[in-house]
């Protein structure tokens, strides 16, 4: 049965769904940017359709189109989140919510689409020179998991966002301490991915426990928020070492991605963790490790890195996907 035509000027629903929070917004012809932004904890809802329904009931909107950016690979109609229990059929959700169109994309694909829309004030540059205007852009960022994407130039002014799962590549140690961290992590996990150590939900606690064991100190049952808090207020030497090493190891991952993509357009760092401590991150060993690549150190020294500080940037990418 053919769908009825879309109502002119009807708002569209935008969503950015991570392993911890789901952010919703509306986009319509009267507003250039997403509006009515609201964040809902994923744990409060049995499924994505319940969270969307709660947001729409609160906003009073009746959208006909929606774009959902979600922390998960999108390979067909069935979606099962990697770092949360939600699973759903895209078509079934579309029908239950009465939408004519529902596009579901990876959350870091959406964030990559947002990069050309970011203003200079939306980013903090950390080292490097001037980005090539039409050069490939690399993107990664720790949140509940580790998101990875990139943006490649297409034609005279277009861009193609990559949809990959680079956070699940094997962790790459760069010195003896990180090699020992990897050995200890192998006791718990047959495959230690970059995400296992470079994320909030999994990484910071595992890294903290490994560093405590190496130092011969009893580890407390701390989550990532408490590790970060103690590190930033300098109340726990092991937490300080954990956060510093976390930033340094992220420099290796960022450099590997920059080399893979030839990211002359810059390396962008997103996710929900780093914007909480931009000063600490900028002063950490991230940039020194990023440039520490032997014969390709000079190549990497020229590439700027940018910490994304804008609020809800993936919603901008979802809006770009809606217009595509």
Averaged pLDDT, 50-69: 94
Structural contact between residues 261 and 279, judged by C-beta atoms closer than 8 angstroms: no
Closest CA relative to residue 168, chosen from 187, 138, 145: 145
What is the DSSP pairing of strand 158-161 with strand 146-154? antiparallel
Q: Which residue would you say has higher pLDDT here, 142 or 72? A: 142
Task: Determine phi and psi for 67, rounding to 5 degrees.
Answer: -125, 125
How many CA atoms, within 13 angstroms, populate the side-chain half-sphere of residue 80?
Answer: 0
What the block records as the tokens of 321 is: 């996907």
Task: Determine phi and psi for 245, rounding to 5 degrees.
Answer: -65, -35
Binding residue numbers for ATP: 15-20
How far apart are the C-alpha atoms of 252 and 256, rounded to whole Å? 6
pLDDT digits (tens, 9 = 90+) for 136-190: 999 999 999 999 999 999 988 899 999 989 999 999 999 999 999 999 999 999 9
State percent of the chain over pLDDT 90: 88
Question: What residue spans define the domains of the chain?
Answer: 12-107+313-323
Closest CA relative to residue 116, chosen from 75, 158, 146: 158
pLDDT confidence of residue 203 = 96
pLDDT digits (tens, 9 = 90+) for 298-322: 999 999 999 999 999 999 999 999 8
Structural contact between residues 257 and 267, judged by C-beta atoms closer than 8 angstroms: yes
Q: Any long-range contacts for 21-25 (C-beta under 8 Å, 24+ apart)?
A: 21/272, 22/48, 22/51, 23/312, 23/314, 23/315, 24/51, 24/52, 24/55, 24/59, 25/312, 25/315
Structural contact between residues 269 and 308, judged by C-beta atoms closer than 8 angstroms: yes
For residue 114, what are the contacts with CB-CB under 8 A and spacing of at least 6? 313, 314, 315, 316, 317, 320
Maximum Cα interatomic distance, the chain, rounded to a whole number of Å: 67
- Band of residue 10 on the pLDDT scale cut at 50, 70, 90: confident
pLDDT confidence of residue 219 = 96
What letter does residue 241 receive in the DSSP assignment? H
Closest CA relative to residue 70, chosen from 315, 270, 320: 315
Averaged pLDDT, 102-118: 95
Averaged pLDDT, 53-74: 93
What is the DSSP pairing of strand 35-41 with strand 137-142? unpaired
pLDDT confidence of residue 1 = 47
Closest CA relative to residue 241, chosen from 181, 156, 322: 181
State percent of the chain over pLDDT 70: 97
How many CA atoms, within 13 angstroms, populate the side-chain half-sphere of residue 258?
Answer: 31
What is the DSSP pairing of strand 65-70 with strand 101-106? parallel
Cα-only R_g, the chain: 20
Binding residue numbers: 15-20
- Band of residue 29 on the pLDDT scale cut at 50, 70, 90: confident
pLDDT confidence of residue 230 = 98
Q: Whole-prediction pTM value?
A: 0.92
How far apart are the C-alpha atoms of 131 and 133, rounded to whole Å? 6
Confidence check: pLDDT of 2 > 60: no
Structural contact between residues 197 and 249, judged by C-beta atoms closer than 8 angstroms: yes
Averaged pLDDT, 276-297: 97
The 3-state DSSP class for residue 242 equals helix
- Band of residue 71 on the pLDDT scale cut at 50, 70, 90: confident
| Average pLDDT over all residues of the chain | 94
pLDDT confidence of residue 155 = 87
Confidence check: pLDDT of 30 > 70: no
Averaged pLDDT, 24-50: 90
Confidence check: pLDDT of 4 > 80: no
CA separation, residue 240 to residues 135, 215, 245 (Å): 36, 13, 8
Give the rounded distance of the alpha carbon of 215 from its chain centre.
31
Say if domain 12-107+313-323 classifies as CATH 3.30.420.40: yes
- Band of residue 19 on the pLDDT scale cut at 50, 70, 90: confident
């Amino acid at each position: 049965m053919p769908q009825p035509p879309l109502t002119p000027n009807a708002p569209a629903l935008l969503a950015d769904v991570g392993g911890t929070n789901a952010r919703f917004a509306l986009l319509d012809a009267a507003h250039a940017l997403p509006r009515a932004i609201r964040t809902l904890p994923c744990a409060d809802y049995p499924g994505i359709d319940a969270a969307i329904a709660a947001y729409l009931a609160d906003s009073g909107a009746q959208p006909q189109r929606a774009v959902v950016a979600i922390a998960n690979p999108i390979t067909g109609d069935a979606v099962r989140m990697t770092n949360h229990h939600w699973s759903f059929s895209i078509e079934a959700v579309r029908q239950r919510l009465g939408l004519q169109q529902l596009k579901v994309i990876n959350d870091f694909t959406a964030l990559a689409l947002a990069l050309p829309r970011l203003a200079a004030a939306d980013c903090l540059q950390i080292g490097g020179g001037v980005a090539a205007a039409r050069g490939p852009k690399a993107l990664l960022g720790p949140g509940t998991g580790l998101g990875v994407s990139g943006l490649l130039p297409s034609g005279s002014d277009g861009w193609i966002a990559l949809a990959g799962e680079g956070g699940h590549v094997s962790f790459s140690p760069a010195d003896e301490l990180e090699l020992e961290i990897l050995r200890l992590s192998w006791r718990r996990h047959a495959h230690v991915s970059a995400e296992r150590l470079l994320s909030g939900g999994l990484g910071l606690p595992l890294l903290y426990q490994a560093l405590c064991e190496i130092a011969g100190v009893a580890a407390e049952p701390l989550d990532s928020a408490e590790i970060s808090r103690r590190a930033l207020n300098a109340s726990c030497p092991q937490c300080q070492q954990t956060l510093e090493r976390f930033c340094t190891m992220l420099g290796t991952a960022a450099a590997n991605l920059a080399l893979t993509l030839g990211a002359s357009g810059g390396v962008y760092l997103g996710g929900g963790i780093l914007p909480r401590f931009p000063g600490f991150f900028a002063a950490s060993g991230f940039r020194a490790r990023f440039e520490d690549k032997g014969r390709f150190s000079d190549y990497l020294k020229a590439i700027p890195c940018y910490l994304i500080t804008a609020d809800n940037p993936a919603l901008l990418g979802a809006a770009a996907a809606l217009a595509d």
